Amino acid sequence: MRVLLLFCFLLSGCGLLEWKDRALDALVDRIPTDMEEGLGQQILPTVLPPEAVLQDSLLQRRLQNLLNPLVTRNKIKEPSIKIYISRDKELNAFALPGGILIFNAGMLMAAGSPEEILGVAAHELAHVTEKHVLKSMIQSLSLAAIVTYFLGDVSELGAYILQQSQVLLQNGFTRTQEAEADRIGFDYLVTAGIHPQGMTHFFQRLEKKRSTSTEDSKQLQRMSVFLSTHPLTEERIRQVQERMAALTSEQKQRLKPQVFDLKDFQSRLNQYLQ
């Protein structure tokens, strides 16, 4: 079956880059969910050491409750989503293989509404469900290496990812993956009854603040970290606005304000940032 699939690729007539993308997708699809989750848990301590995890059960539970509709109303079961709050003051949020979502305290403090947190979360959740994290980690492999892993034991690929995880996590997402995460994340928000405008408000506000701010260099650097790892171009913002305009009146009526005391949440969170 595997040989037949590769033969079909060869006969598809697509270019080398498209051929590689298809082979990469096929390789990642071979990775079982439990293996992906295992990889994520093994990589986690190297990205988020135990001492960097913010251990506050109330904050953790409130953030989990805020994000639950995104998961449950979109019927996302595999991989199981696991949420962590980092003590890091940098404005960042990111995903690891196997459904791990990490929100830096600095990012949560910078949000102006619960919808902004949910907009970022939906985008990251889409990266998880579409396996963009795994794909980004191995996209630098040669075509020959991808075929070798595809035809061989997929556990060998897992061993490679673990050995090279620190380097591979720096690969970043492609434009196509970012656009797909925007589109799918938008749909997740609408399905969950969450206003998707928060998806761009957060980025727009940070970009405006960065361009006009007189804050010290460390604060400006923290803004740059988020905007560099989550680049939001005018084109991507425009596409979100177009999707908003295309929503039916029935869909818009289902978008409800989120019941979440953000000020109280941030006040408690800020205690850990002093």
The per-residue pLDDT for range 157-192, each reduced to its tens digit, is: 888 888 887 777 777 788 888 889 999 999 999 999
Residue 115 located in a structural domain: yes
* Residues, the chain: 274
* Position 64 pLDDT exceeds 50: yes
Residue 6 located in a structural domain: no
Q: Which helix (H) or strand (E) element contains residue 210?
A: helix 198-212
Residue 1 located in a structural domain: no
Residue 18 located in a structural domain: no
Least confident of 92-101, 106-115, 137-146, 177-186: 137-146
Task: Look at the chain and report how many structural domains it folds into.
Answer: 1
98's torsion region: left (phi>0), alpha (psi -120 to 50) or beta? left
Residue 144 located in a structural domain: yes
**Choice between 73 and 21, residue whose per-residue pLDDT is larger:** 73
* Position 240 pLDDT exceeds 90: no
- pLDDT for 13 equals 47
Percent of the chain past pLDDT 90, that is, above it, reads 48
Residue 17 located in a structural domain: no
Residue 15 located in a structural domain: no
Q: pLDDT confidence of 11, banded at 50, 70, 90?
A: very low
Q: Look over the chain and give the mean of its residue pLDDT values, rounded to a whole number.
A: 84
Q: Is 122:240 a contact under the CB 8 Å cutoff?
A: no
Q: pLDDT confidence of 221, banded at 50, 70, 90?
A: low
Domain carrying residue 110: 25-273
List the structure tokens of 42.
């093994």
Q: pLDDT confidence of 3, banded at 50, 70, 90?
A: very low
Residue 89 located in a structural domain: yes
**Choice between 147 and 120, residue whose per-residue pLDDT is larger:** 120
Provide long-range contacts, Cβ within 8 A and 24+ apart, for 161-164: 161/39, 161/43, 161/97, 161/134, 161/137, 162/39, 162/42, 162/43
Q: pLDDT confidence of 227, banded at 50, 70, 90?
A: low
Q: Are strands 100-104 and 82-86 parallel, antiparallel or unpaired?
A: parallel
d(CA 164, CA 42): 12
List the structure tokens of 208.
């405006």
SS3 labels along 138-194: HCCCCHHHHHHHHHCCHHHHHHHHHHCHHHHCCCCCCHHHHHHHHHHHHHHHHHCCC
- pLDDT for 58 equals 97
